[in-house]
Amino acid sequence: MKTTKEKIEYLRQMRARLTAGGGEKRIAKQHESGKLTARERLALLFDPDTFQEMYLFAQHRATRFGLAGQELPADGVVTGVGAVDGRQVFVASQDFTVSGGSVGETHANKICQVQEMALKSGSPLVIFNDSGGARIQEGIDALSGYGRIFYRNVLVSGVVPQIAIIAGPCAGGAAYSPALMDFIIMVKGTGKLFITGPQVIKEVTGEVVTPEELGGAYAQEAHSGNVHLVAENDQHAIQLCQKLLGFLPSNNLEDPPEYGNGEVVFGEDPVLDAIIPDNPRDSYDIKEVIGRLVDEGDFMEIQEQFAPNAVIGFGRINGQSVGIVANQPAVLAGALDINASDKIARFVRFCNAFNIPLITFVDVPGFLPGVEQEYGGIIRHGAKMLFAYSAATVPKITLILRKAYGGGYLAMCAKDLGADRVAAWPTGEVAVMGAAGAVNIIYGNEIKNAADPEAVRAKFIQEYEAEFANPYVGAARNLIDDIIEPKDTRRYLSLALESLRAKRDVRPQKKHGLIPL
């Protein structure tokens, strides 16, 4: 019989073994490839001495292909709870040094349990992905494990924020867990995300592509839009995760944390008065406008490389988190295309689910014309924006900076889509379309038959602009609350946000609406 002392010593030794990962050689290989280990990542993520590990002793029960009796430390995933900036966060961190971080029955059970704990306790969930995928030795048990993780990703969705960090391979069906989460942060160089790898693609389609070209951070951010934030390395990914969490509430029943001393700072900014160029064909950088309006110029842009004709991200106004949506006149003149519509609609849904007020900056010539866009389903994709904004019950504030044309005007959260407050700069223009296009349609014959068509066209354009290319018609109809000088925009937004703090918006009961997917 072992004495109590011996039992405690046994526990110590076992704990030391199970927390040692896959051994020195594999840890050295992990470091050589530019990656931190699963535990090093957690040490950086959490406030000092706050991490409490859960399920360390869980072990697989596979008996085949060399796994019988083999101890896998923590079964290849470190799970538990800790504090990020004083707020509780649940975590799973796959350990590539243990069986390649592969997912078997027990590994999946551990992830499922932290998902359930996050749900029960209303705390965000962060998962570090660094894995060879389904554990080959566990066959269907591994696949079933993924299914259970996906199922819980969906249960958790909209209740607590979910952030996936791709810090190594994440291929095949494994990619669907991050895809079901709210934000994907991917590490350049080491992160790889794809459903079928280059080898299979070559066999099936003959296409030749490198793993980086196919599933690297740039490809998965810029081309597919799967990735929301790109990090230079593991440390940077963790910093981005911490910063992102700071904008979000812990769950859907709470408001985001507020920073600052509660003092409302209005601050005039005369630079904004000179932002809009006199020539309507000239562009400007909407990010400069956003940067001048948010606290300390701190704007956390999301999906920067994907659909850059639209800009989305988080900032704060007087300490209050806001979700910002904007057209970017410097890219495609700010027109809305399929990808921009998807990007905006998803972001609006996220902000609405987590009680984050929306501020929308409008300078949009409309939806992008083209056969490719029509065949690609711009109607369905654009409708996602209309749906997302109309369904959103958080405070919605819209500012029209310049063009607000056609469907784009409505899709960028016009008053008729439930915007609570709409302001325009004096440069705002709300119209069905731009002057040049409009006069060709309305006065085509008069222009064609005139002795001097260009002079007649110019006259009609001038008349049209006087009639429509201004914000006063909209203001006269109560569709614009106020026309403000650009320098006073922060004041307007601050007061409007304050006025909407207690907003209530009751909708009819239903199981769920049917967003056009």
Q: What are the residues binding ligand HXC (CB under 6 A)?
A: 26, 99-100, 102, 132-136, 143, 146, 169, 171-174
Q: Which backbone phi and psi does 171 adopt, to 5 degrees?
A: -120, 165
Considering the complex, state which of residue 180 and residue 300 has its C-beta at the smaller distance from ligand HXC.
180
For the bound state, the minimum distance from the C-beta of residue 204 to ligand HXC, rounded and expressed in Å, comes to 15
Q: How many CA atoms lie within 13 A of 306 on its CB side?
A: 26
The C-alpha atoms of residue 226 and residue 327 are separated, in whole angstroms, by: 20
For the bound state, the minimum distance from the C-beta of residue 118 to ligand HXC, rounded and expressed in Å, comes to 21
Give, rounded to a whole angstrom, the gap between the first and last alpha carbons of the chain: 64
For the bound state, the minimum distance from the C-beta of residue 143 to ligand HXC, rounded and expressed in Å, comes to 5
Considering the complex, state which of residue 174 and residue 333 has its C-beta at the smaller distance from ligand HXC.
174
Give, in order, the Cα–Cα distances in Å from 168 to each of 103, 123, 128, 492: 14, 25, 9, 45
Considering the complex, state which of residue 172 and residue 246 has its C-beta at the smaller distance from ligand HXC.
172
Q: Residue 253 gets which letter from DSSP?
A: T
66: exposed, middle or buried (Cβ count in 10 Å: 0-12, 13-18, 19+): exposed
Radius of gyration for the chain, computed over Cα atoms and rounded to the nearest angstrom: 27
Which of these, 29, 130, 149, 139, lies nearest to 77 by C-alpha position? Answer: 130
Considering the complex, state which of residue 169 and residue 334 has its C-beta at the smaller distance from ligand HXC.
169
Considering the complex, state which of residue 12 and residue 61 has its C-beta at the smaller distance from ligand HXC.
61
The C-alpha atoms of residue 479 and residue 484 are separated, in whole angstroms, by: 14
Q: Which residues on neighbouring strands pair with residue 399, listed in sequence order?
A: 361, 423
Considering the complex, state which of residue 174 and residue 302 has its C-beta at the smaller distance from ligand HXC.
174
For the bound state, the minimum distance from the C-beta of residue 172 to ligand HXC, rounded and expressed in Å, comes to 3
Considering the complex, state which of residue 135 and residue 228 has its C-beta at the smaller distance from ligand HXC.
135
At 61, the amino acid letter reads: R
Which of these, 299, 301, 298, 316, lies nearest to 255 by C-alpha position? Answer: 316
Q: Which residues on neighbouring strands pair with residue 431, listed in sequence order?
A: 405
Which of these, 460, 359, 474, 376, lies nearest to 419 by C-alpha position? Answer: 359
For the bound state, the minimum distance from the C-beta of residue 392 to ligand HXC, rounded and expressed in Å, comes to 32
For the bound state, the minimum distance from the C-beta of residue 94 to ligand HXC, rounded and expressed in Å, comes to 11
For the bound state, the minimum distance from the C-beta of residue 169 to ligand HXC, rounded and expressed in Å, comes to 4
For the bound state, the minimum distance from the C-beta of residue 95 to ligand HXC, rounded and expressed in Å, comes to 10
Considering the complex, state which of residue 146 and residue 347 has its C-beta at the smaller distance from ligand HXC.
146
The C-alpha atoms of residue 162 and residue 265 are separated, in whole angstroms, by: 32
Considering the complex, state which of residue 110 and residue 402 has its C-beta at the smaller distance from ligand HXC.
110
Which of these, 346, 324, 340, 343, lies nearest to 395 by C-alpha position? Answer: 324
For the bound state, the minimum distance from the C-beta of residue 34 to ligand HXC, rounded and expressed in Å, comes to 12
Give, in order, the Cα–Cα distances in Å from 282 to each of 127, 330, 332, 334: 44, 9, 12, 12
